[in-house]
């Protein structure tokens, strides 16, 4: 039976970054190419999100908007029910995406030149945020055991001893796909506490977690570790809402929470898009069943890709992701340099995010977006077969 996520929807002509801007950003002409780069998915938002938006448009007055009680409560209830975390309203800092809050926290918690540590390879924009705020990137390389990533705690501790001001944690991890365990998350929090390192945990992938894995938030560790902690959460990835531009950064330390609020006021980030608020609260309030179904769909895509790579691509390693809909393929055994690999993929009409953008440890890898109808994934597989075999 056809699944509603099987529907292929044309996104061209909607100013869509992933489809309409391949030429501008990657030099790939519009047409036959199948974009698999930007991490949003090609699924239509469900009615429980679009209906309240339509009603709001019908109302027709688009004046300044606030976050009402239902907004806070919908997020608080979702996190209590799904992640066993009790959020407090005072912890919320609502910004257009995660990076504005992250950059402001970097500016508060460190000085130009200070080291900000990432676990590499990691989400490319972290690098940009660190360097564009004139901080220095410190990388602790994840251990890669045949596609399974883990944290090198000895190295992490050594780097903390050598002087790190802030750690940027990506939990779950993009692009490695790991859902860090309770033990791993607790150890990160303990080490940050021991060495006086501020911890920014980006948890915007928390809801995209596949069967057999359990997300564990930094907000679930002992509150003694909350003093220098900020946690970014969002419905962006969970419900396909990136263009709604809305992230909540949780800061349990009262003084630090006040400081960020004051900064947001200074920048005028204290009024909100009515559409973003409505879409998010509807998603958090009504989205559980739909998300379960979507996770099953994404998991089937994930398994299909793993089966294809395992059966046919002898020089590529792929381990099933525990989280995200972004497959991380190790193509190093093909012996191609990144430019050559990219060229071949573009020629075949599959446009991934190249791994080198995620730090040096991403060289020879590609990140492939699986958030698409199964028929489009089949077409991508068909094309990969021609270049990676």
Ligand X SMILES: Cc1ncc(COP(=O)(O)O)c(C=O)c1O
Which residues, 6 or more positions from 102, have their beta carbon under 8 angstroms from its beta carbon?
Answer: 126, 129, 168, 200, 202, 232, 249
183 burial via Cβ count (<10 Å: 0-12, 13-18, 19+): exposed
Yes or no: say if 18 and 37 are a contact pair by the CB < 8 Å rule.
Answer: yes
Token pair, residue 307, equals 């089966």
Taking the alpha carbons at both ends of the chain, their separation in whole angstroms is 32
Yes or no: say if 329 and 309 are a contact pair by the CB < 8 Å rule.
Answer: yes
Q: Does 202 bind ligand X (CB under 6 A)?
A: yes
Three-state secondary structure call for residue 323: strand
Which of these segments, 50-58, 93-101, 181-189, 259-267, binds ligand X (CB under 6 A)? 93-101
Three-state secondary structure call for residue 174: coil
Token pair, residue 170, equals 């990506």
Q: Which is nearer to ligand X, 201 or 301 (CB)?
A: 201
Please count the residues of the chain: 389
Q: Which is nearer to ligand X, 367 or 383 (CB)?
A: 367
The rounded Cα 218 to chain-centroid distance in angstroms is: 16
Q: Does 204 bind ligand X (CB under 6 A)?
A: yes
In whole angstroms, how close is the CB of 381 to ligand X at the nearest point?
23
Query: Among residues 36, 74, 159, 247, which is the contact residue for ligand X, using CB under 6 A?
Result: 247
The torsion angles phi and psi of 279, rounded to 5 degrees, stand at: -65, -45
In whole angstroms, how close is the CB of 42 to ligand X at the nearest point?
15
In whole angstroms, how close is the CB of 161 to ligand X at the nearest point?
27
In whole angstroms, how close is the CB of 357 to ligand X at the nearest point?
12
Q: Does 16 bind ligand X (CB under 6 A)?
A: no
Q: Which is nearer to ligand X, 202 or 387 (CB)?
A: 202
Q: Which is nearer to ligand X, 231 or 387 (CB)?
A: 231
Residue number, nearest CB to ligand X? 97
Q: Which is nearer to ligand X, 123 or 180 (CB)?
A: 123
Which stretches of the chain are assigned E, i.e. beta strand?
A: 34-36, 94-95, 115-120, 136-141, 143-145, 148-150, 166-170, 198-202, 229-233, 247-250, 326-330, 350-354, 365-369
In whole angstroms, how close is the CB of 236 to ligand X at the nearest point?
4
Q: Which is nearer to ligand X, 119 or 348 (CB)?
A: 119
Site string for ligand X, 159-198 (x = CB under 6 A): -----------x---x------------------------
Closest of 131, 229, 146 to residue 188, by C-alpha: 229
Q: Does 256 bind ligand X (CB under 6 A)?
A: no
Query: Among residues 236, 276, 281, 294, which is the contact residue for ligand X, using CB under 6 A?
Result: 236
In whole angstroms, how close is the CB of 347 to ligand X at the nearest point?
26
Token pair, residue 292, equals 């379960």
Q: Does 242 bind ligand X (CB under 6 A)?
A: yes
Neighbours of 145 (CB within 10 A): 9
Site string for ligand X, 94-113 (x = CB under 6 A): ---xxx--------------
Query: Among residues 123, 127, 169, 318, which is the contact residue for ligand X, using CB under 6 A?
Result: 123
Q: Which residue is it, tokens 């340099």? A: 337
Q: Does 39 bind ligand X (CB under 6 A)?
A: yes
Q: Which is nearer to ligand X, 172 or 252 (CB)?
A: 172
Binding site for ligand X (CB under 6 A): 39, 97-99, 123, 170, 174, 202, 204, 234, 236, 242, 247
């Amino acid at each position: 039976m056809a699944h509603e996520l099987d529907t292929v929807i044309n996104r061209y002509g909607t100013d869509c970054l992933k489809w309409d801007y391949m030429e501008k950003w990657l030099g790939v002409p519009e047409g036959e190419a199948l974009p698999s780069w930007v991490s949003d998915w090609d699924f239509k938002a469900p009615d429980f999100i679009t209906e309240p938006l339509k009603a709001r448009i019908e109302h027709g007055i688009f004046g300044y908007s606030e976050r009402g009680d239902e907004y806070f409560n919908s997020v608080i209830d979702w996190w209590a029910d799904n992640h066993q975390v009790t959020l407090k309203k005072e912890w919320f800092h609502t910004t257009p995406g995660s990076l504005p809050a992250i950059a402001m926290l970097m500016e508060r918690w460190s000085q130009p030149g200070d080291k900000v540590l990432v676990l590499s390879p990691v989400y490319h924009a972290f690098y940009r945020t660190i360097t564009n705020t004139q901080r220095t990137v410190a990388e602790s390389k994840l251990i890669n055991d045949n596609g399974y990533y883990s944290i090198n705690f000895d190295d992490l501790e050594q780097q903390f001893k050598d002087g790190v001001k802030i750690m940027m944690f990506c939990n779950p991890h993009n692009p490695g796909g790991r859902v860090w365990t309770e033990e791993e998350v607790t150890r990160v929090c303990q080490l940050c506490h021991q060495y006086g390192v501020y911890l920014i945990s980006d948890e915007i992938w928390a809801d995209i977690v596949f069967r057999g894995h359990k997300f564990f938030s930094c907000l679930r560790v002992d509150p003694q570790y909350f003093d220098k902690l900020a946690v970014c959460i969002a419905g962006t990835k969970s419900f396909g809402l990136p263009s709604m531009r809305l992230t909540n950064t949780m800061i349990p330390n009262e003084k630090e929470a006040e400081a960020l609020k004051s900064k947001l006021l200074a920048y005028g980030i204290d009024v909100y898009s009515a559409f973003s608020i409505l879409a998010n609260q509807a998603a958090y309030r009504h989205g559980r069943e739909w998300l379960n179904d979507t996770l099953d769909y994404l998991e089937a895509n994930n398994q299909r890709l793993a089966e294809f790579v395992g059966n046919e691509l002898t020089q590529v390693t792929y381990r099933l992701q525990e989280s995200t809909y972004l497959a991380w393929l190790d193509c190093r055994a093909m012996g191609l340099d990144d430019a050559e690999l990219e060229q071949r993929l573009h020629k075949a009409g599959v446009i991934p995010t190249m791994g080198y953008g995620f730090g040096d440890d991403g060289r020879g890898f590609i990140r492939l977006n699986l958030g698409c109808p199964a028929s489009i994934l089949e077409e991508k597989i068909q094309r990969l077969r021609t270049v990676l075999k």
